[in-house]
């Protein structure tokens, strides 16, 4: 490798050191590149395994691409099978709401089936049989989960030197639920054209079935037998020409079921073609293999076998065993609710983050319990400041006076707010409401996740009356506090001056309760202060006069 090439490879490897967990993996070399990003082989220093790390760049640039990634990582988590590639780990992003790239750690496979077919011209009938058996066994598991892969091709089948195959790339896969039309809204552009079933090429049907994947497996198996693609069409029309050259012109009944007008007219006007015997097309193949291949490549989807039926074919006698061909539990609707509606970029980001937490059990447990680290999992004060600043910037530029978004009143406990109307509560309701405003003793002295220790003060309690003084309408009544070893309330007659305990009233300046006069007056008002001093002097004079027998009660 030239020095400049080494520098380029080193620069690509450095992309994998951005996340904190990256130190766990020792990157070895770049093994693949594409529009999605880069794949590197690496050594997991914790487990000692060799893995492949796939970095996917700017996943939220397009919502459709992000949805495809979400679909793939979710399906690979749910579909655990020896013939399906496994996600070992997904690195935790540094920020829940601002990450753009993700690092997915897969089990490392040496090559793919496309490279195997291209580089090996000495594959034996045993190779063909074992390869097809693994593909059908994995496909049976996928289909019993009500999942259609829809993009099976040699490049999406990983391979090892020990002839082990694994199906990958579920980005175009879909889940079909029993109570909804199967794939009625799916696009016709699924699967690479060369491996696309006839019903996809001509939009033959409004409903797709698992038979579209059986057709793709048949095309892959034929490519194994000959070393080259079976139907390398240049466009959809050419693709149909190649299919009918081998399989013959479809029957009139099959053509009548084609829903696409152009495709139906094209097939109707096509010259009559006779099918070519498979023994002529594949002269050196096992006759049992050709009989199964002919079943999988039936023009009409209803004539193709299911994966389970194909595994029971005589071609696999001595190899197939039902006990090592497991079925899957159907995927639940809840897992793929996002497929039923249009989702935003923020929603798909949240869903992908939730999938990442599946590989971080401790954080997932905290997430589900709602006790995760506040600074990381929820918007911090900085986030709130940014939101308010942006709001002000947008609304104040034209001289408008719009208040920035703040804490909503709905976030306050309902029974802690008193309203100006005359609604009444019975004692049972009041007791229940007040209990909701009390912090339980079990919550005291709990350490927070960031290492800070919670306050060990007495639980806060809310009172509707304080020494006979009813709270003002719309006012949140303060808590009972400790002062000099005594319990006092904010509106108590023994109240101690504290600027932080000022009660705000939207109708005027801050008010403070005067225990001696029984009224509310503006705090820190010099005029009122001097008036109160003069009032005290006058009262003392009157008291002295009354002691002398003067009519002091006339004041």
Q: What is the pLDDT of residue 185?
A: 39
Is pLDDT above 90 for 276? yes
Domains of the chain: 12-108+341-372 (3.30.200.20), 111-324 (1.10.510.10), 409-522 (no CATH), 525-555 (no CATH)
Tell me the per-residue pLDDT of 453-484, one tens digit each, with 9 for 90 and over: 343 344 434 344 444 444 444 444 444 444 44
Q: How confident is the model at residue 260 (pLDDT cuts 50, 70, 90)?
A: confident
Q: What is the pLDDT of residue 1?
A: 54
Q: What is the pLDDT of residue 454?
A: 40
55 labelled binding-site residue:
yes
Which residue shows structure tokens 């108590």? 492
Q: What is the pLDDT of residue 314?
A: 96
Q: How confident is the model at residue 499 (pLDDT cuts 50, 70, 90)?
A: very low
Is pLDDT above 50 for 198? yes
Give the number of other Cβ atoms within 10 Å of residue 223's Cβ: 21
Q: What is the pLDDT of residue 116?
A: 94
Q: How confident is the model at residue 4 (pLDDT cuts 50, 70, 90)?
A: low
For 338-367, letters b (16+ CB in 10 Å) and e give: eeeeebeeebbbebbbebbbebbeebeebb
Q: What is the pLDDT of residue 547?
A: 47
The values of phi and psi at residue 292, to 5°, are -65, -40
Q: What does the alpha-carbon distance between residue 174 and residue 191 come to, in Å, rounded to a whole number?
A: 12
Strand ranges in 2-65 using DSSP code E only, listed in sequence order: 25-34, 37-44, 50-56
Question: What value does the mean pLDDT take over residues 13-18?
Answer: 50
Question: What value does the mean pLDDT take over residues 219-239?
Answer: 93
Q: What does the alpha-carbon distance between residue 325 and residue 81 come to, in Å, rounded to a whole number?
A: 10
Q: CB within 8 A of 423, min separation 6: which ones? A: none
Percent of the residues in the chain that have a pLDDT greater than 70, as a whole number = 59
Is pLDDT above 80 for 362? yes
Give the number of other Cβ atoms within 10 Å of residue 384's Cβ: 14
Is pLDDT above 90 for 385? no
Is pLDDT above 60 for 43? yes
Residues 65, 112, 122, 151: which is the catalytic one? 151
Residue of higher predicted confidence among 542 and 300: 300
Q: What is the pLDDT of residue 367?
A: 84
Residue of higher predicted confidence among 445 and 319: 319
Question: What value does the mean pLDDT take over residues 38-53?
Answer: 91
SS3 category, 486: strand
Q: Which of 215, 373, 355, 241 is nearest to 293 (CA)?
A: 215
Does this model's pTM top 0.85? Answer: no
For the ranges 137-141, 274-278, 503-507, the lowest mean pLDDT is seen at 503-507
Question: Would you mind telling me the total number of residues written for the chain in this entry?
Answer: 555
For the ranges 37-41, 75-79, 133-137, 518-522, the lowest mean pLDDT is seen at 518-522
Name the average pLDDT for the chain.
Answer: 74
Q: What is the pLDDT of residue 18?
A: 53
Strand ranges in 192-273 using DSSP code E only, listed in sequence order: none
Is pLDDT above 90 for 397? no
3-class secondary structure per residue, 374-416 = HHHHCCCHHHHHHHHHHHHHHHCCCCCCCCCCCCCHHHCCHHH
Tell me the per-residue pLDDT of 308-350, one tens digit each, with 9 for 90 and over: 999 999 999 999 999 999 999 999 888 888 888 889 999 999 9
Torsion of Cα atoms, 261 then 266 then 269 then 274, to 10°? -130
Q: What does the alpha-carbon distance between residue 319 and residue 437 come to, in Å, rounded to a whole number?
A: 68
Tell me the per-residue pLDDT of 97-145, one tens digit each, with 9 for 90 and over: 888 899 999 999 999 999 999 998 889 999 999 999 999 999 999 999 9
Q: What DSSP assignment string belongs to 511-528?
A: EEEETTTTEEEETT-HHH
For 518-549, letters b (16+ CB in 10 Å) and e give: eebeebeeeeeeeeeeeeeeeeeeeeeeeeee
Is pLDDT above 70 for 239? yes
Question: What value does the mean pLDDT take over residues 170-188?
Answer: 63
Angle at 342 between CA 339 and CA 345, to 5 degrees: 105
Q: Which of 163, 166, 107 is nearest to 142 (CA)?
A: 166
Question: What value does the mean pLDDT take over residues 24-33?
Answer: 86
SS3 category, 432: helix
Is pLDDT above 60 for 166? yes
Which residue shows structure tokens 């249009």? 342
Q: What is the pLDDT of residue 496?
A: 42
Q: Give, to the nearest 10 degrees, the angle between helix 236-247 and helix 261-269.
A: 40
Q: How confident is the model at residue 83 (pLDDT cuts 50, 70, 90)?
A: very high
Is 151 catalytic? The answer is yes
Q: What is the pLDDT of residue 313?
A: 97
Q: How confident is the model at residue 504 (pLDDT cuts 50, 70, 90)?
A: very low
Cα 217 to Cα 99, 135, 214, 242: the distances in Å are 37, 7, 5, 17
CA 81 to chain centre: 22
């Amino acid at each position: 490798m030239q020095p400049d090439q080494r520098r380029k490879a080193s620069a690509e490897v450095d992309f994998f050191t951005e996340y904190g967990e990256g130190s766990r993996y020792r990157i070895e070399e770049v093994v693949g590149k594409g529009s999605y990003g880069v794949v590197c082989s690496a050594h997991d220093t914790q487990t000692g395994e060799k893995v492949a790390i796939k970095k996917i760049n700017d996943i939220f640039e397009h919502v459709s691409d992000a949805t495809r990634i979400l679909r793939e990582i979710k399906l690979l988590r749910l579909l655990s099978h020896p013939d399906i590639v496994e996600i070992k780990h997904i690195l935790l992003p540094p920020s829940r709401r601002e990450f753009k790239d993700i690092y997915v750690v897969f089990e490392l496979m040496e090559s793919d089936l496309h490279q195997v077919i291209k580089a090996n011209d000495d594959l034996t009938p045993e190779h063909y049989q074992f390869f097809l058996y693994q593909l059908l066994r994995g496909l049976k598991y996928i289909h019993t989960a009500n999942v259609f892969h829809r993009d099976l091709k040699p490049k999406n089948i990983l391979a090892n030197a020990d002839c082990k195959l694994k199906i990958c790339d579920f980005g175009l896969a879909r889940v079909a639920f029993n109570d909804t039309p199967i794939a009625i809204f799916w696009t016709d552009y699924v699967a690479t054209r060369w491996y696309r079933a006839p019903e996809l090429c001509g939009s033959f049907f409004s409903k797709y079935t698992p038979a579209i994947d059986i057709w793709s497996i048949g095309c892959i198996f034929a490519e194994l037998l000959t070393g080259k693609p079976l139907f390398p069409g240049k466009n959809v029309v050419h693709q149909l020409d190649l299919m009918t050259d081998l399989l013959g012109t479809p029957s009139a009944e099959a053509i009548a079921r084609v829903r696409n007008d152009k495709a139906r007219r094209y097939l109707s006007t096509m010259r009559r073609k006779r099918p070519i015997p498979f023994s002529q097309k594949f002269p050196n193949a096992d006759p049992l293999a050709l009989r199964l291949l002919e079943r999988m490549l039936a023009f009409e989807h209803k004539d193709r076998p299911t994966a389970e039926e194909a595994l029971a074919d005589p071609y696999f006698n001595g190899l197939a065993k039902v006990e090592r061909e497991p079925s899957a539990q159907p995927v639940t609707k809840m897992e793929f609710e996002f497929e039923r509606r249009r989702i935003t970029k923020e929603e798909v980001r949240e869903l992908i983050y939730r999938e990442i937490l599946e590989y971080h059990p401790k954080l997932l447990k905290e997430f589900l319990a709602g006790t995760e680290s506040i600074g990381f999992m929820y918007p911090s004060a900085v986030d709130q400041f940014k939101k308010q600043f942006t709001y002000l910037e947008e609304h104040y530029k034209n001289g408008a006076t719009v208040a920035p978004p703040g804490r909503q009143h709905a976030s306050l406990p309902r029974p802690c707010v008193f309203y100006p109307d005359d609604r009444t509560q019975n004692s049972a309701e009041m007791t229940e409401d007040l209990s909701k405003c009390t912090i339980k003793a079990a919550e005291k002295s709990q350490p927070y996740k960031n290492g800070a220790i919670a306050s060990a003060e007495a639980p806060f309690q809310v009172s509707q009356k304080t020494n006979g003084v009813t709270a003002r309408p719309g006012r949140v009544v303060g808590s009972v506090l400790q002062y000099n070893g005594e319990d006092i309330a904010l509106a108590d007659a023994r109240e101690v001056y504290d600027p932080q305990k000022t009660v705000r009233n939207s109708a005027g300046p801050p008010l403070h309760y005067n225990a001696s006069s029984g009224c509310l007056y503006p705090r820190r008002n010099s005029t009122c202060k001097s008036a109160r001093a003069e009032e005290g002097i006058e009262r003392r004079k009157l008291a002295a006069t009354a002691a002398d027998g003067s009519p002091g009660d006339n004041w």
